[in-house]
Amino acid sequence: MMRSRYFFNSSIIRQNLRQHGWMGIIYALGLMFALPLQLFMSNNPNAKPREIDHLFRITGEMQMIFIVSMPVVAGLFLFYYLQTKSPSDMWHSLPLRREHLLTSHLFSGLLLLLIPVWLTAAVVALVRQWSGNLYIFQGNEIWSWCIAVTVLTLFLFCLSVFVGICSGQSVLQGIIIYALLLLPAVGILLLDSHLSIYLYGYPELSAYHNNLEYWSPFIRMMNISGNPFSSVELWVYVGFSALFIGLSYLLYRKRHSEKAGQAIAFVYFNPLFKAGIMICCMLIAGNYFAQMKHQQIGWIISGYAIGAIVGYIAAEMIIRKTWQIVTRKVPVEFAIYTALLGLFLYIPASGLTGYETRVPSEDKISGVFAGSSYWMYNRAGDTFGGNFLTDEDLFSKDKQYIEAVRKLHLAVATIRPENKLSKPYFDYSEYQSFTVAYSLDNGRELLRKYLVPLKGFEPELKVVMESEGFKRAQYAVSQLEKNIDLIRINSSVGNLNKQVVISDPEEITEFKAILKKEILNMSYEDQTDDRAAVANIAPIVNIDGIGSSTFFNYSWFASYHELEKWMEEKGYANKVRTNAEDVESAKLVKVDHNRTAENVYDPELLLKLAGNENQVILTEDKAVLADILKQRRSYSYKNSDYLVKLIYNGGYTDFVMLKASDLTPGLKALLK
């Protein structure tokens, strides 16, 4: 009587344990191999125990292979009877209510899956103090691991059961489960790419946000080693598990036994299934054609149409289990689906919402950021736990600077300079990348991203880029105001292996002060100058005793005269600066801007074509090489007058350019 009240049937449970006990054994062996055994495994015989803060650091990905697979497998096998007609008829002919059946199978699955988890945790607790253990951790870490794996196992099993009740084919059940685990992140990526193509100023958030993995349980689990689950996340998974169980009880009562073998067990899920497949296919095809054909409208429309056709046909064939899907209603139904999904994709990307022209009023702005390093701040905040970054470092509250950024934003949003990214060849040197971020009084942020042409926007750009607020955020000046343990300075030509490490605290303080002063004194012309950097500067901080570069590295530019003087006084300059002795030879050629478009971004091909016409000049003169190194600029076909191929000692090569105004008397004499 008690068992009946609580919907348990011991006979069904015993039968499931006998028939499917192998799943629990495999799960237990897998977890034992992935965790307790790995405590004592190392290919280094002299390895010493190291302290860890959570057990997922021990082959976390290997653990997750079993965690993301076995609960799903358990759901597939325990509820296989729903997908085949004869077993379905047999089970449902028993004198048991469906709630009894579902509860008994659920309880069987949980026994098979959770006992291995708890057993593994108990074994880890027992062997933690054994000699030979290569990891040091606290007892509460075992509890944390056990709770996390229990919740994840419960979530995946409940999802598998829910999908199994909604579908009528085991293969499709497995595909849908993993599709759902990936769909949120994939959907965000596709929609983000779609909006970034058509909405002017859209910042394409997913390409930069590390938290995209939080939208996909599968990706989140497979990246567990470096970032364990928080208590909030686990409660979210518990909530979803309860939801899936509740829906399973509700839907199982309404499921017809004859739906076994059908793709979708409930006809009212068919529209959602079709729409989901169609919109995914439309986004994939549309984005592909837009990227490959440089946003040509004809190709884009064709891409969405092809995606809609393929998606609809695929969905219909899956639902009907046949390729013969043509009926009278198919064209009408396809047209309706395509029109509705087309509107769903068009309206957000059309600008009808005012997204492209929206600029907040000054009285609603509490802080502003403008520059190209916004995403570095966000990523570094996760990596360094906020040690180097705060909102005050990122956003400036200076009213004059806020108004200057607003004027630049208004000018760009109004004029909307042509998006030349849509053309096959694009020269970034003619543009300044800007992410404009407003911190609003209501606690939200408004983000836009633009490529602003240097020509035509000089007045607005000059005011913004010469402001202290811009330079502090763009060049992470706040990082120079923090504690730094070392400063590593490398030659801008990495293969030369020329390096200086400054470790003296007094010198570090002097260096930081001078570098900060140089950055804050940069003019608009200094910041838009395309001359190659003299050297790269990497501040180093010790994190848990391990030296690691901070999130932002600096450059030693030619305009940093005070820094250059300090480096020379300390004897560091020639140890990192590229000089003529580092270069074997150089090949120079005057750039012919009348060459065909397919050649413009291939300097090696341009050099070869010029060589065929005997227009290449080879020099090994150290004085000339020194002039080239001093005047060299980053290569850009449209802005170059002379292409130079530098051949360094050891065979490393690099392409740079010179303008006519850069030519020294020695270079002019050589090029006559």
Dump pLDDT digits (tens) for 456-471. 888 999 999 999 999 9
Decide if pLDDT at 546 tops 60: no
Decide if pLDDT at 210 tops 60: no
Q: Which whole number is the average pLDDT over 610-625?
A: 86
Q: Could you please report the per-residue DSSP string of 109-131?
A: HHHHHHHHHHHHHHHHHHHTTST
Dump pLDDT digits (tens) for 131-172. 777 788 888 888 999 999 999 999 999 999 999 888 878 888
Place of tokens 């449902």: 92
Decide if pLDDT at 287 tops 50: yes
97 band by pLDDT with thresholds 50, 70 and 90: confident
Residue 613: strand, helix, or coil: coil
SS3 annotation, 224-274: CCCCCCCHHHHHHHHHHHHHHHHHHHHHHHHCCHHHCCCCECCHHHHHHHH
Q: Which whole number is the average pLDDT over 558-583?
A: 91
Reported as type and span, the H/E element at residue 585 is: strand 583-590
Decide if pLDDT at 599 tops 80: no
HSE, side-chain direction, 13 A CA sphere, residue 556: 28
Dump pLDDT digits (tens) for 402-435. 999 999 999 999 988 865 544 545 566 678 888 8
Weakest-pLDDT range from 122-126, 135-139, 172-176, 306-310: 135-139
What is the structure's pLDDT at 9? 74
443: left (phi over 0), alpha (psi -120 to 50) or beta: left
Angle at 467 between CA 410 and CA 376, to 5 degrees: 80
Q: What is the mean pLDDT of the chain?
A: 83
Residue 55: strand, helix, or coil: helix
Reported as type and span, the H/E element at residue 286 is: helix 270-292
Dump pLDDT digits (tens) for 55-71. 888 887 889 999 999 99
